[in-house]
Amino acid sequence: MCPAKVTGGKPRGWIIPIGGGEKKVSSSTILSRFAELSGGDDARIVIIPTASQLDDAGHRYETVFGEMGVRRIDIVDLDTRESCEDSGQLALLGRATGIFFTGGNQLRLSTTLGGTSAAQTIRRGNAVGVHVAGTSAGAAFICEHMIAVGKSGPTPKRGMATLSPGLGLTNRIIVDQHFRERDRIGRLLTALAYNPFATGVGVDEDTAAFIGPDDVIEVFGSGGLTIVDPSDLVHSTMAETHQGKPVSLIGIKLHILIAGDTYDLATNTALPAAAQD
Q: How far is CA 194 from the centre of its chain?
A: 19
Tell me what the mean pLDDT of segment 150-171 comes to.
97
Catalytic residues: 136, 178, 205
Tell me what the mean pLDDT of segment 260-276 comes to.
93
Tell me what the mean pLDDT of segment 219-224 comes to.
98
HSE (side-chain half, CA atoms, 13 Å) at 255: 20
| pLDDT of amino acid 53 | 81
In-domain check, residue 195? yes
Residue 275 pLDDT greater than 90, yes or no: no
Q: Report which DSSP code applies to 54.
A: -
> 170 with 6: CB under 8 angstroms?
no
For residues 124 and 74, what is the distance between their CA atoms, to the nearest angstrom?
19
In-domain check, residue 274? no
Closest Cα partner for 252 from 231, 277, 226? 231
For residue range 244-253, list pLDDT tens digits in order. 999 999 999 9
CATH assignment at residue 208? 3.40.50.880
Average pLDDT along the chain: 95
Among the residues of 142-234, which ranges form H helices?
185-194
Q: Report which DSSP code applies to 28.
A: -
| pLDDT of amino acid 2 | 57
Grade residue 65 by pLDDT with cuts at 50, 70 and 90. Answer: very high
In-domain check, residue 125? yes
| pLDDT of amino acid 89 | 97
In-domain check, residue 5? no
In-domain check, residue 4? no
In-domain check, residue 272? no
Tell me what the mean pLDDT of segment 114-118 comes to.
97
| pLDDT of amino acid 274 | 79
In-domain check, residue 141? yes
Grade residue 6 by pLDDT with cuts at 50, 70 and 90. Answer: low
* Percentage above 90 pLDDT, the chain: 91
Tell me what the mean pLDDT of segment 154-169 comes to.
97
Tell me what the mean pLDDT of segment 136-141 comes to.
98
Structural domain boundaries enclosing 175: 15-264
| pLDDT of amino acid 266 | 96
For residue range 162-171, list pLDDT tens digits in order. 999 999 999 9
In-domain check, residue 105? yes
Number of domains into which the chain is organized:
1
Q: Can you give the pTM of this predicted structure?
A: 0.95
Grade residue 5 by pLDDT with cuts at 50, 70 and 90. Answer: low
Residues 6 or more apart whose Cβ sits within 8 Å of residue 275: none
